[in-house]
Chains A and B, each alone.
Chain A
C-alpha cells in the first residue's frame, strides 16, 4: 500500500471501523507519517461531533460522588507511599541518631505557633498547645518529611509527665480504613506506638496523647500510615519525623 491508500483509510480509522488487519497496517504507517497523524486528528474532531447527535442525559449524582471519592483515594496513595532516602534505613539506624538532642527553639516556636494558629484555626487547640509549652520543662519538636517538596509538617509539644499534643498541617488524606499513627523511638529499641488520627478535609489534625515516661525526650518522633485501628509496630515507611 502507498501513502494515498493509507490516507483513504483514515476517516474509517477515526470511527474505529477498520478491520483488525487494516488497523494494524495503518497504525504502522501512522508511526512514520506526520501528515497522516494530523489527518487522523482532523477526522477525529469530525467523528467527535457525532456524539452530539445523541440525546443529552443526566447521570445519577452518585457518579460524581464516586469519581471524587476515588480521586481522593488516588491522591492519598500518590503521596503516602513514602520511601526514606536510600542512604539511611530509618527503622534500623536510630543508634546513629541517638546523639540528636531535643532542643527547644523558642524563637522558632513563636513563629511556628502563629502559623499553626492560622492553619488550624482551632483556637482552643492552640490555647492548649501554648499552655502545654509554657509548662516548666516542656519541649517542642518539629516533624518534617524527608522529601524537600513535601509540604506536610507537624509540631509535637510535650511535658515531663508525658502529656503530648501534636498539631499537624497539610497532611494528605489517608485511604479509607487507614489513619496516621504517632511513634516514639528511643535508641535502638522498637518504636513505641502512639495514638492514631485522621486529618480534617484541609489536612489539619490535632492529637492529644500520653507518651510513656521513657519516651519523653525520645530520640525520634515519627508518623506513619497504619490501619485505622493502629499497629503495634510500624507497617509503612515514615511519613514525617523529627530530625
Chain B
C-alpha cells in the first residue's frame, strides 16, 4: 500500500467509514503498538493509548491535511504524542519506576507487517547505527522517553548548549542518511 492509499483511507474515515478505520488499524497497529510499547514499556497502558489514538483518528481524520505531511507522519506523531503524555502522567504517579524489565512482546505474524515497513525499518536502524552515540542518545531520550533538552543535559551530565547542538546535528544527519532512500518517509 502506498501513502496515497492511506490518504484515501483517512478521507474515508473522515466521511465516517468504519471499514476504512479498521483497515488503517490493521495496517499500522504493529508499528504504532511497537512504538507505544517502547515508550511505555507496559502492555496494558500501550493498548489503552493505542485505542485512544485510533479513536482520535476517527474523530479528527478531517484535520489531516495531505499538503502538510504524510499519513504515516501524522499517525506516528499522534501516537507518540499520546504515548509521551501517558508516560508523563504515569511518571507523575510513580508507576513506571519499576518497569525496568521489558515485557515480553508477543510474536506478530509476517502478514501484520509488510515489505514497505520492513525495508524502512532497516533503513532507519542502519542510519541510526551510523550516528555517533553522542548524537544518537539525545535523539532517543527525546523521542522515546519524552525528555526535554534540559532533562537530557542533566541525565547525560552534559552542558545544555552541547545537547542542543548534538540533537540538532543528529536529526540532520538522520535526515541526510534517509533522504532519497524512501519516498514514504516524506522527505
Contacts and interface: CB of A to CB of B under 8 A. Distances in A.
A67 B58 CA distance: 9
B149 A64 contact: no
Interface residues of B, number: 71
A64 B29 contact: yes
Contacts, number: 169
A6 to B, nearest CB: 13
Interface stretch (A38-46, A101-109, A190-198, A211-219): A38-46
Contact of B164 (A12, A58, A62): A12
Contacts of A48: 72-73, 76-77, 80, 185-186
Interface in A32-59: 41-59
Interface in B21-40: 21-22, 25-26, 29-35, 37-38
Given A45-B70, A48-B76, A57-B34, A67 B25 contact: yes
Interface string A76-97: 0010000000000000000000
B180 interface: no
A72 interface: yes
- Interface on chain B toward A: helix, strand, loop, or mixed SS? helix
Given A16-B81, A60-B47, A74-B58, A52 B16 contact: no
A59 B29 contact: yes
A71 interface: yes
A202 interface: no
A118 interface: no
B62 to A, nearest CB: 13
A48 B83 CA distance: 13
A31 interface: no
B117 interface: yes
Contacts of B8: none
A17 B77 contact: no
B117 A19 contact: no
Interface of B: 16, 18, 21-22, 25-26, 29-35, 37-38, 43, 46-47, 50-51, 54-55, 58-59, 68-70, 72-73, 76-77, 79-81, 84, 105-109, 112-113, 117, 120-121, 124-125, 128, 138-140, 142-144, 146-150, 152, 164, 167-168, 171-172, 174-175, 178, 185-187
